Amino acid sequence: MTSIGNRAFSGCSSLTSINIPDSVTTIGGWAFSDCAALTSIDIPDSVTSIGDSMFSDCSSLTSIDIPNNVTTIGDWAFDGCSALTSIDIPDNVTSIGYSTFSGCRSLTSIDIPDSVTSIGDKAFYNCAALTDVKMGNGVTTIGNETFAGCSALTSIDIPDSVMSIDDYAFYKCAALSNVNLGNGVTSIGNNSFSGCSSLTSIEIPDSVTSIGDDAFSGCSTLTNVNLSNSVTSIGDGAFSGCAGLVSVNLGNSVASIGESAFYGCDNLEKIDVDPENHYYASDNGILFNYEKSELIFYPRKKTDSSYTIPNSVTIVRYGAFNNCANLTELIIPDSVTSEMSFSGCSGLTELTIPKGIERLYDAAFDDCSALKSLHLSSNFKEFGGTKYRLYHLTAAPLSPK
């Protein structure tokens, strides 16, 4: 007997243990899948690969010794092995497949040897008890959703060999408080650390050039972000919902900042930009494009009660002033022609919309509870969906000025 075929024992729900003879060199895919009572199995050293779904949904399997000659662990190999508490990956393994250990809810630690160069998407997805991960120096990519939902994981050291952290890699790792990014990482993918609500700080190494959409969204305890001079792009919503963020420092190479990159950062006091940056500028902690023709973001926790937008500004980015509760007075020059929103500006008492602005966004005055007078120019044409929200204004709120 040299091989065990595909699905050979699949669904043998009463099978509790099995000894495979040394003559076997090949075991087919799904060979022991859905063997719900299987608690132990001895695999001989003659076997060189763990096939796709070989032990998937073996929900009673608590441990397994993988032979030293195994070089690959296939897709879904241990998917749904909810009782598996530990596993040793031998030094000859070079790849871990798609969703290999997904749903191993009892797995507490994993040691990935230096021989492993690739980890498949969702490899450790929803391993809810996983607290300790040691990643070898051979891994080059952390795939999509690799550790997503590992809600007990508290820290991770990413070696210098890793070049990219793909989308949702550590999504909703709610206990993750410490991340050490290696000096080889060049890209941080979309939503890669989204929902890591215990993450308080992160150092972005000089190797990183791009930060994806929503990469750190919902990291509500993140307080400071320093972006090195290598970073050229920050995606849409990259730091949205980082309610604890108080300061951001942008390096000299940032050339693109996506929409709502800092939306919901309600404790942000300032954004500083390296003076050598030729795409963006900061004035008293307020973010502009380099020419100061576009006002991008006014930090929510600035203590100033009054602000005058510079005459150079023609565009105010959507949401730039939302939730600026400390502002009681905002002076908008005639140069501004873009639609604007003032939602959450609960301290504003009076506002004049200049002649350059012909319309406002829907819900532009949501939660502007102190606003008593609104003055519109004769050029104003459209209120969008906001007019019904102006019930709290004085008797003649829409007076021309």
Examine residue 10 and state whether it is found in any structural domain, yes or no.
Answer: no
Examine residue 369 and state whether it is found in any structural domain, yes or no.
Answer: yes
Mean pLDDT of 31-35: 96
Label the pairing between strands 233-234 and 210-211.
Answer: parallel
- The pLDDT assigned to 384 comes to 64
Q: What does the alpha-carbon distance between residue 132 and residue 138 come to, in Å, rounded to a whole number?
A: 18
Examine residue 344 and state whether it is found in any structural domain, yes or no.
Answer: yes
pLDDT digits (tens, 9 = 90+) for 378-401: 888 877 654 444 544 543 344 444
Q: What does the alpha-carbon distance between residue 344 and residue 389 come to, in Å, rounded to a whole number?
A: 13
Beta pairing partners, 374 = 351, 398
Q: What does the alpha-carbon distance between residue 319 and residue 339 come to, in Å, rounded to a whole number?
A: 10
Residue 286, CA distances (Å) to 101, 183, 217, 244, 354 in order: 46, 31, 21, 18, 21
Examine residue 338 and state whether it is found in any structural domain, yes or no.
Answer: yes
Q: Would the pLDDT of 66 be above 70?
A: yes
Examine residue 358 and state whether it is found in any structural domain, yes or no.
Answer: yes
Of the pLDDT bands very low, low, confident and very high (cuts 50, 70, 90), residue 214 is very high
- In the chain, the number of structural domains is 1
Of the pLDDT bands very low, low, confident and very high (cuts 50, 70, 90), residue 315 is very high
Examine residue 79 and state whether it is found in any structural domain, yes or no.
Answer: no
**Residues of the chain above pLDDT 70, percent:** 96
Q: Would the pLDDT of 84 be above 70?
A: yes
Q: What does the alpha-carbon distance between residue 188 and residue 205 come to, in Å, rounded to a whole number?
A: 11
pLDDT digits (tens, 9 = 90+) for 104-139: 999 999 999 999 998 999 999 999 999 999 999 999
Q: Catalogue the E-assigned strands of 300-348.
A: 306-308, 315-316, 329-331
Range of the domain at 349: 303-401
- The pLDDT assigned to 254 comes to 97
Q: Would the pLDDT of 62 be above 60?
A: yes
pLDDT digits (tens, 9 = 90+) for 152-187: 999 999 999 999 999 999 999 999 999 999 999 999
Examine residue 345 and state whether it is found in any structural domain, yes or no.
Answer: yes
Average pLDDT over all residues of the chain: 92
Examine residue 324 and state whether it is found in any structural domain, yes or no.
Answer: yes
Of the pLDDT bands very low, low, confident and very high (cuts 50, 70, 90), residue 24 is very high
Neighbours of 113 (CB within 10 A): 18
